[in-house]
Structure 1
């Protein structure tokens, strides 16, 4: 090979570690790899030797700890560079395909990502389906065999006719005749189109068709040269024997190691003392220039430039990663999301119904007055034949039987036993001289203890359920007050004497008889949309990440921001319908009070939904498995729900919890929603606009943090 040839890929002194410094694992050891333009380069080695890691560094998905990677004349990810992007075609080890997509939909998706026009996509689609012997283009990926799915994956990599083609195990599970056909096509495009191809394979002998091969073991390049030269050099008849001989030599040489300093800290790394000789041996294609942004710059000069002005260098790196979104990529991602939705209409309808079902269950089960409460009754007057009249019956008739249901007992002890056994919520006991005592109290104004005791209804309650016991007390107190007024009126005495010394005037906001539903429903509507958005977003991204779909999109040049924006735009329409149905059912069906602007309420709920989606993105940026997403999401529900004043007023919390509640994403939004619904407040009030501002700030914060974590984790 001529050293003056232009290099498509140059990897210089590359080191890559996984993990933190205290438990770091070195995957690539001082790799030097040089791939001239327009050749097929076979990267051979066993599983786990670092081939995939090296390829991910080449396409810009991983950053080296030390060393440099130059692809098509620039550093991967540089501003304006199309690596990652249209200049590189990438086929990962996993198929990384949307299983519910047809073959045509998969190809059109990647074609749109690469900004290809429809005519070119259709032309390439027809060729690739014929060339790779694929079934009908309308057939779903999920209906294909494993080998057919890998061929679809290869078609996606070949679609845009890239300058650099990186294929990770492309011929696994492929028919031998088709494998030969694929190799013929690769050889043809490398010669006619000057396409540079890097291919990894388990079939070592098929790599003899490559112009150059690199033999890799344990993160090191053992040899790099033309297959025929390697066979001659090591006097072997097959590349497999060459590789076996190199492995034996490498194992022997690796016994002697010398410690060298690692720039990642004071930690020492053991490196074979002949590793540099291996990487710069005569079998290596060595080029001593580093092409950065189209100019030749020695690596040492790069380092000096960084040391001289690290701030400028850091700004350039940041600028390379945070690029303005491209509309054609967002459009392609939106169409992808719509296709996913179209393939699962039943699930989409269920998404629309979830908020309606939840708000219906809340309105039906929460905030309603308890009814048909069973109470044991011991009326001594009735047992004794009403010797002093029947005012006790008059009192009992004032109590609504739909709210409290009395069961009469002839013995007080039996009534108490029934309560203790859990059959009733309490005992209501009336003295045998209740009627006479009432008359003595109201007409003769007798206030001795015996009269006061006999003129009272005695309640022995089971207080384990606060809401039921408070309801019993409230109903009986109100009924007793009505009874006393009626008795006073019958004797021509002003019934207002029975009123307590408090006058409840017309309320400033709300009604004289408040409903707990009107207090809790605004918060529940916001929380329903918020938590639904979390689950759907986080799960979707983790599944795509786990199956390699996000990885493939990123290699196609899609940025994290573009993926996130496309998702939020599509979810906007789903959330709009969810919110419309939610408010319709709450307002018209269950009569939840919304006195203020419906538009303002919808906007606030929508912003809170965006906040939930952003939080879901944040969860997906730190979780790798679906179970982790579920644990984090479910673990977040109750702390946020309980501390945001949705179910119980903030005034009922300890002072420290009231302070901490200010730092949840729902607290101020819930308060703003209540102000809109119950007080008819507009955006001009502090609590309302602060609720909007708070929801927007949380949304932006979650979104930015998720974008940063996605960028760091890449």
Structure 2
């Protein structure tokens, strides 16, 4: 017998092991066997021990009552049994294998778990909640409906169409119990299932549990702080402060301690345990940094009892110490990530996500409108030349009644009033003072002999300083706004050039004389008059979808983890990859519509020129959206709270946006920033998008297909990291 158990403890996680224990009547299988279990929380320098050397034996087909006050470690022990937590030391064998072993259905269909919290989707109806778990367990529709009908009647639940949020607390707990009973599991773990229930319904539930344990050989572990209620169990385990005080049949415990109630037995054991703790107040720290109580193996206050005789066969089962626990965690995480996804689970998760969306149609419509609003605001507010720029005008010729002609008026008439709006001043100092007050962006000053100076310069070809000074417009500008300053100078220079050409033509002189010695030929790509909007819009479309995609996935897992919804799905056998794939597939359709609407508005409404294949541009945007969703999953994997997600997501928006060349060309950045910009998820994708939109390039060009490759690589990288982190944290 000892050899068999030692062989079991040396078995790899993937191999099946069968634990048996010898009783007076022969051999009997154990559904759950926990030996010398230790569980710590926190870091080694600041840890808290939740389980102290706990041993628990649950034979197949019995009801096992796990009793103890809140915080004594009952829930932690259950989570270790279903594979949600790893023991720091010890062994747990459930239905013949370690939880989480390859091919094992724990977690999975073999176990039904009802947590302390209801862990239900509040916007779901009762029927939708049961169908979700039914699909996860690969039950067909007729089986789900049959079980649903029975559970609604048995648990006295309202109509199946009633939403969870509309139910009372007790009714929600009954729905949670129904989800645990749905697939008729081999092992049923119920954490405080009868809290707040009507006494008649509580008795009805206990009768049903006794019935299925006898007829279906269902093994049931039920935790409760109603100690006398557990007298109906076949075996009970009494826990306090993470220690198992006693484990036996209720009647035998009463006889052993010569007391009339389990509550009295528990009180007696608590008193003895407290005395024992005071006697053994010294602790030793093992090589893993775990703090252990120095407890004797034969101490009657902390027994590890045989299933039938109540003896402690410590010599038959050696303690399993997981010295390389991080290595084991990494190996189990790798296994979790590499398990081939099951389509029925992905389908169930997709239906669940679609149901959540269906319950929030208004928010869904808003999600479709967000990219339209953002691209519309961008096209309306960004890239247009400033209009109606106020400039103070000091025209000395006009003040003095044009003593030398009216060429200054001809020049001013060439300036587009839609771009520059002049306000005349009779005093130059007053005009400059108005600019200093912030009323104008500059002063345009024309000397009183401007017309004469122009004629002397162009006709008489005089180039003395006095003539050059008189024939010029003197600008005193507020240069604090680069774009406004650039437009002011550009408009006045272009208008002056047109004025000079007209003047030369009127004097039979070739107007080409006024052209600068630069000839701009027809451009290879783009137009001679290029709009900033055509430069910035492609990158902005990529950025909008990328950052919206982050919002689609970043908060989902944090919220579900916090409310216990994700953990319950994991206990039902769902893997990390299945959860992530289901979310991405569902969000795929939302993103698809967002991209179509955004591209349509940009191209048709705001005339953003798309020279290349529109479908190719949309495909690149879509792949970048997948990258954003993967990045959102990664953020969700590293964060625990909603506030942390918001800080990380918002904190990464501007660094990525500004360093990717979306708003300003990369050529305008310092060399070190240009180098670092190569390592953002947007830089090369934005460059590829501009090549498609402005140059009509296709996949035969390096920059285009490299953008697709980079986007796909970032997507795979974020997805893989998120999957690994989720698996490690499971």
CA distance in 1, matches of 2:336, 2:390: 72
Distance 1:270 1:303, change over 3 A: closer
Give yes or no for the alignment of 1:138 onto 2:152. Answer: no
Superposed CA RMSD? 2.2
Q: Which runs of 5+ in 2 are unaligned?
A: 1-20
Residue 121 (structure 2) pairs with residue 105 (structure 1)? no
What's the TM-score, normalizing by structure 2? 0.93
Aligned-pair CA distance for 1:257:
3.4
The yes-or-no answer on 1:89 pairing with 2:112 is: yes
Matches within 5 A, 1:480-495: 480-495=496-511
Q: CA deviation at 1:274?
A: 3.2
Match of 1:337 among 353, 360, 373: 353
Match in the other structure for 1:696:
712
Aligned match for 2:293, one of 271, 288, 298: 271
Structure 1 residue 262 corresponds to structure 2 residue 286: yes
2:667 aligned residue: 651
**Structure 1 CA distance for aligned equivalents of residues 102 and 61 of structure 2:** 24
Contact 1:100 1:340 in 2 (8 A): yes
**Secondary structure of 1:165's match?**
strand
Distance in 2 separating the partners of 1:171 and 1:362: 57
Q: Secondary structure at the match of 2:28?
A: coil
Measure the CA separation in 2 of the matches of 1:245 and 1:299: 29
Asked whether the equivalents of residues 137 and 572 of structure 2 are also in contact (C-alpha less than 8 Å), the reply is: yes
Partner of 2:370: 354
**8 Å contact kept, 1:56–1:62:** yes
Give the 5 Å matches for 1:163-562. 163-255=186-278, 256-264=280-288, 267=289, 269-274=291-296, 277=299, 278-280=301-303, 318-319=334-335, 322-562=338-578
Measured against aligned partners, the alpha-carbon deviations of 1:497-521 in whole angstroms (never above 9, x if no partner) come to 1111111111111111111111111
Find 2:73's aligned residue among 33, 36, 50.
Answer: 50
Aligned pair in 2 of structure 1 residues 129, 312: CA closer, same or farther (>3 Å)? closer
| Cα distance per residue 1:307-326 (max 9 Å; x no partner) | 9xx99998688436631000
Q: Which residue of 1 aligns with 2:650?
A: 634
Q: What is the distance in 2 between the residues matched to 1:7 and 1:552?
A: 25
Could you tell me how far apart the structure 2 residues matched to 1:244 and 1:422 are?
Answer: 83
Give the 3 Å change call, closer, same or farther, for CA 464–318 of structure 1 in structure 2: closer
Distance in 2 between residues matched to 1:584 and 1:287, nearest whole Å: 77
Secondary structure of 2:36's counterpart equals strand
Rate the CA distance shift 1:443–1:263 in 2: closer, same or farther, 3 A: same
Distance 1:562 1:462 in 2: 60
CA contact (8 A) 1:373 1:425 kept: yes
* Offset from partner CA, 1:268-306 (integer Å, 9 cap, x none): 62413336634445587679999xxxxxxx8659889x9
Aligned-partner SS, 1:407: strand
Following superposition, the deviation at residue 238 of structure 1 comes to 2.0
Q: Structure 1: how far apart are the matches of 2:328 and 2:721?
A: 23
Change in Cα spacing, 1:250 to 1:321, as seen in structure 2 (3 Å) is: farther
CA distance in 2: counterparts of 1:459 and 1:317, whole angstroms: 69
Structure 1 equivalent of residue 3 of structure 2: none
Confirm or deny: 8 A CA contact 2:188 2:219 kept in the other structure: yes
Match of 1:294 in 2: none
CA contact (8 A) 1:223 1:283 kept: no
User: Please, which moves more after superposition, 41-50 or 480-489?
Assistant: 41-50
In 1, the alpha carbon distance for the partners of 2:128 and 2:495 equals: 70
Q: Take 1:141 and 1:617, find their aligned partners in 2: how far apart are those partners? A: 27
* 2:596 maps to 1:580: yes
Count of matched residue positions in the alignment of Structure 1 and Structure 2: 703
Structure 1 unaligned residues grouped into runs of 5+: 291-297
Partner Cα distance (1:178, 1:124) in 2: 19
Q: 1:270 to 1:289 in 2, by over 3 A?
A: closer
TM-fit CA distance, 1:24: 2.1
Q: What is the CA–CA distance in structure 1 between the aligned matches of 2:616 and 2:214, rounded to whole Å?
A: 63
For the residue of structure 1 that corresponds to 2:45, the secondary structure is: helix
Q: Quote the offset at 1:5 in angstroms.
A: 1.7
For residues 238-267 of structure 1, give each alpha carbon's deviation from its aligned partner in whole angstroms, at most 9, with x where no partner exists.
222221221111111112234434231xx4
Residues 1:126 and 1:270: Cα distance change in structure 2 (over 3 Å)? closer
Report the counterpart of residue 119 of structure 1 in structure 2: 142
Counterpart-to-counterpart distance in 2, 1:363 and 1:712: 44
SS in 2 for 1:35: strand
C-alpha offsets along residues 23-82 of structure 1, whole Å, 9 cap, x if unaligned? 222211111111000111111112211111111111111111111111000111111111
Q: How many Å separate the matches in 2 of 1:641 and 1:599?
A: 24
Q: What is the CA-CA distance between 1:590 and the residue it aligns to?
A: 0.5
Question: 1:9: how far off?
Answer: 0.5
**CA apart distance, 1:112:** 0.6
2:574 match: secondary structure: coil
1:220 Cα deviation after fit: 1.1
User: How do 1:145-164 residues align onto structure 2 when only pairs under 5 Å count?
Assistant: 145-164=168-187
2-structure distance, mates of 1:91, 1:340: 22
TM-superposition CA deviations, 1:650-707 (whole Å, max 9, x none): 1111111111111111111011100110111111111111111111111101101111
- CA distance, structure 2, for counterparts of residue 503 and residue 321 of structure 1: 62
Which of 38, 44, 49 lines up with 1:15 in the alignment? 38
Distance in 2 between the 1:357 and 1:299 partners? 67
For residue 542 of structure 1, report the CA deviation from its aligned partner: 1.2
How far off its partner does 1:236 sit?
2.3
Q: How far, CA to CA, are the matches of 1:165 and 1:666 in structure 2? A: 49
Give the direction of change, closer, same or farther, for the CA distance of 1:551–1:593 in structure 2 (3 Å limit).
Answer: same
- Is the CA contact 2:106–2:571 (under 8 Å) kept in the aligned structure 1? yes
Q: Partners in 2 of 1:644 and 1:636 — Cα distance?
A: 12
The TM-score, its normalising length taken from structure 1, stands at 0.95
More displaced 10-residue stretch of structure 1: 214-223 or 157-166: 214-223
Give SS of 2:529's match: coil
The match for 2:640 among 615, 624, 629 is: 624
Within 2, Cα distance between the matches of 1:120 and 1:519? Answer: 59
Secondary structure of the residue that 1:257 maps to in structure 2?
Answer: coil
- Between the aligned partners of 2:158 and 2:640, the Cα distance in structure 1 is 34
Question: Paired residue for 1:70, among 93, 112, 116?
Answer: 93
Q: Are residues 664 and 282 of structure 1, via their aligned partners in 2, closer, same or farther at CA, if it must alter by over 3 Å?
A: closer
CA offset digits 1:153-202 (Å, max 9, x no partner): 00000000000000111111111111111111111111111100111112
CA contact (8 A) 1:258 1:270 kept: no
Rounded to whole Å, the distance in 2 between the matches of 1:313 and 1:663 is: 30
Q: Check 1:282–1:468 CA distance in 2 against 1; reply closer, same or farther (3 A cut).
A: closer
Aligned 8 A contact 1:32 1:279 in 2: no
- Counterpart-to-counterpart distance in 1, 2:38 and 2:254: 29
Aligned to 1:295: none
Aligned 8 A contact 1:257 1:270 in 2 = no
